[in-house]
Amino acid sequence: MEKLEKTLEEWREMLDPEQYNVCRLKGTERPFSGKYNDSKVDGVYHCICCKAPLFDSKTKFDSGCGWPSFYAPIGDSAMVEIRDVSHGMIRTEVVCATCDAHLGHVFPDGPPPTGLRYCINSVCLDLVPRE
């Protein structure tokens, strides 16, 4: 996909306040509050900002962390990893490769086959069910 760029004001106009805070200002939703945390619906999760596919529900698992968790993105080029040293921690932030929306973080404590846990804010996602 081609890179999608908008000003913060353009993003503010198209997103609701919580989506804007998380996706554009790198906020987070409260744990266990997101609509996809407990979802078992079969489908593909897309970026709420640009509709790029990010995760297949087949890679979703219950990590107990309070946010939807996946062990792998839908493809190697779906997201970009960025070193995050905010909040007194060293973490790896993940952003949408198409529009740079903040999605969440990836941790090295997930299940096989990758051993990774992509901890993603529900507000950043739009689930398109499989037919």
Is 65 annotated to bind ligand? Answer: no
**Residue 47 annotated as binding site:** yes
Is 119 a catalytic site residue?
yes
50 is known to lie in a ligand binding site: yes
**Tokens (6 digits) for 102:** 């903040």
User: Is 23 annotated as belonging to a binding site?
Assistant: no
Long-range contacts for 3-6 (Cβ within 8 Å, ≥24 apart)? Answer: 3/98, 3/99, 4/49, 4/50, 4/98, 4/99, 5/99, 6/99
- Which of these is catalytic: 23, 49, 119, 124? 119
Binding residues for Zn(2+): 47, 50, 96, 99
- Positions annotated as catalytic residues are 119
Binding residues: 47, 50, 96, 99
